[in-house]
Chain A
Amino acid sequence: MPTFAQPAAAPPGATAGRRVPTRRNTELALLLFGFVVTALLSAAAQAALINTVRVDCLVLPVLVLMLGLVAHVVIRIFAPYADPVLLPLATLINGVGVVFIHRVDVPTETDSDYHKFASIGATDGLGIQQVMWTGLAVIFCCALIIVIRDHRTLARYAYTFGLAGIVLVAIPAVLPGSMSEVNGAKVWIRLPFFAIQPGELAKLALFVFFAYYLVRKREVLSLASKRVLGIALPRPRDLGPVIVVWIMSVLILVFEKDLGSSLLFLGTFVVMLYIATERKSWLVIGFVLFAFGAFAAYSLGTWLGPFRNFHDRVDIWLNPMSDPLNTTYQLSRSLISLGVGGLFGAGPGAGDPTSVPLARSDFIIATIGEELGMFGLAAILLLYLLITLRGVKAGTVVRDPFGKLLAGGLAFSMSIQVFVIVGGVTDLIPLTGLTTPFLSYGGSSLVANWILIGLLIRISNDARRPSPAGTAGGPSGPPPQLQSAATEVIKL
């Protein structure tokens, strides 16, 4: 009978001395590359706008680069094994957004104040404001990376996060309209000196809670009762959580008139449920619930007040050119802008973005589409896709289930948010007021999305870090076990 001795210790240097590359220099190189891209965009826009290129076109790109470098240094120290592409991707999208916001600030030839051209400096207008918001957001992101050394500590406060998320989501609904309503959506808290969109932060808190809850319950939720059409359905009594989230999303839709957030919460929850249980039936159930909710809201909207806003939006979506001077003004302008952009766009600075309403926030995708064309817009969308890809990758590699679910959920929420707003602007789905991550003008959105990137960086650091046994330097074999010791004794 063969016996087991412990296998000979690994040859020295084979594993213990093996260095896992941190890829921090790759990150730095990509950051600088992103800066070159942003700087060229800024210079090209200025050349087209005022017929000359001044040094001050570099001010905004350099400021964004400096913020990216600050985050880079923090990552080098506190999360050295983090994914090298997340930070450059976020910084580039943010930089492109800043340049475009500044570009919209500059009046075009058709404006009466055309002559103020030369006097528009780099630090005038909303572009520099956006840089300040970015600075605040990067500070939050760095603080998160420094304070939270292990993402699993978040699971300890999961119920607190869940409660905070629900409260944050609910606040605008109960506030009077004068303090919470902007352009028809009640998603703000407006204070005398500043306004925030609590939903942006609530989504992060809720996703942390979802991840924790689903890790605890996934075994129960993956039990199947019977198969229908080849899909194993869950037991009816396990439908509770998804119904609760569905009701929450319908309440958001009704009381805050915010279809985007409603879709974001439900969609992300359903996808996390799917990741946790590996049962496709949850995707089907989620889709059916949402389709039913949306159809019911649309039907009720014809005669019931709270659903009217949604009903109108669906009508606009179905007939975007029916009333271009009044109700469908926004969407028709957006579609015309995208059409004018065509395949390669009018060129940075050569379009007419002021013809689109809300060209800096909700419709910044139309602005970019007009000037960069489908070619440029597709590249921007690919940048988002790469962020999602890396987030999911971090989720598949990290060892703990909570980290897996959180990374998967956060990464997917970025995708669904981009889908909802880009789909709205391009008339693929009814238009809703979600912000475009990193591009739209606004502090709440930037802070929330940079925190999201910080979380992904933290989780990816854990995923890619060599395990402690490998870095301890000693023999990294498994701990001796009683079984093999026993066989050794018998052998002797």
Chain B
Amino acid sequence: MPSIVLAVARFGFLALLWIFVFAVAGVVRRDLWTGSRSNRLVAAPRGVPAAGPPQPAPARPRRGQSPRILVVTEGALAGTTITLTDRPITMGRAEDSTVVLTDDYASTRHARLVARNGEWFLEDVGSTNGTYLDRAKVTGPTPVPLGVPIRIGRTALELRP
């Protein structure tokens, strides 16, 4: 067996092994965009991929000013973001909530956010400890401006563009 063949086989194997590693890394990378449904303990709405392609939304007033994401700013889930779609967002400790709160002061079904003509409304759905928009207790459906904290127990969430 000529030594050139051995050398080719030797380095060829190493190259192939690394190509395999990169092939797997490539699959993993593509998977970031298709497979991910959620971030940490927060799940996307059932049946709606969190980072899916933006669905053609009805024309929203003041484009650029309309909220696109919901950010958890305080509490155990701080740092989590959720991309808004047209779907209502439910918040609570129930496993099927959009935002599954791990907060001792949150109820199983605590509050929800619903979009209406490009504006988001916050509504308390019968929680024990109440939902607050900044300092004010939410009694009925209340429009949520950008950057104003929604407070649920120790958790605070904000709408951001």
Chain A residues packing against B (C-beta within 8 Å): 1-4, 7, 10-11, 14-16, 18, 20-21, 23, 26, 30, 33-34, 36-37, 40-41, 43-44, 47-48, 51-53, 84-85, 88-89, 92, 219, 278, 344-345, 347-348, 350, 372-373, 375-376, 379-380, 382-383, 386, 389-390, 393, 396-397, 399-400, 463-464, 466-470, 476-478, 481, 483, 487
Contact = CB atoms under 8 A, between A and B. Distances in A.
A47 B1 contact: yes
Given A36-B16, A347-B7, A468-B46, 14 more contacts: A4-B141, A30-B20, A33-B20, A48-B10, A53-B1, A347-B9, A350-B10, A379-B18, A390-B28, A399-B95, A463-B37, A467-B46, A470-B47, A476-B46
Nearest to A464: B35
A3 B88 contact: no
Contacts of A15: 47-48
Nearest to A222: B76
A84 B46 contact: no
Contact of A2 (B17, B34, B39, B116): B116
Contacts of B83: none
A382 B14 contact: no
B87 interface: yes
Interface string B112-146: 00111000010101100000000000001101000
Contact of B23 (A33, A344, A393): A33
B6 A48 contact: yes
A246 B132 CA distance: 45
A26 B121 contact: no
A84 B26 CA distance: 12
Contacts of A344: 10-11, 14
Interface string B1-29: 10001110111111011101101110110
Contacts of B37: 397, 463-464
B141 A2 contact: yes
Nearest to A477: B87
B36 interface: yes
26 contacts: A1-B140, A7-B88, A7-B114, A20-B49, A21-B34, A23-B27, A23-B35, A30-B23, A40-B16, A43-B9, A44-B13, A88-B24, A219-B104, A344-B11, A347-B6, A347-B7, A348-B9, A350-B6, A375-B14, A382-B21, A399-B95, A463-B37, A464-B37, A468-B46, A470-B46, A478-B88
A16 B48 CA distance: 9
B43 interface: yes
B149 interface: no
A338 to B, nearest CB: 16
Given A51-B1, A386-B25, A386-B28, A478 B45 contact: yes
B27 A483 contact: no
Contacts of B34: 20-21
Contacts of B38: 397, 399
Nearest to A346: B10
B90 interface: yes
Contact of A89 (B7, B10, B24, B123): B24
A7 B43 CA distance: 20
A379 B14 CA distance: 8
B123 A4 contact: yes
A467 B47 contact: yes
A15 B50 CA distance: 12
Contacts of B47: 15-16, 466-467, 469-470, 476
A482 B79 CA distance: 32
Contacts of A219: 104
Given A348-B9, A348-B10, A278 B76 contact: yes
A376 B23 contact: no
B86 A7 contact: yes
Contacts of B63: none
A44 B123 contact: no
B46 A4 contact: no
A149 to B, nearest CB: 19
A393 B28 CA distance: 10
A52 B1 contact: yes
Contacts of B141: 1-4, 487
B36 to A, nearest CB: 7
Contacts of A44: 6, 9-10, 12-13
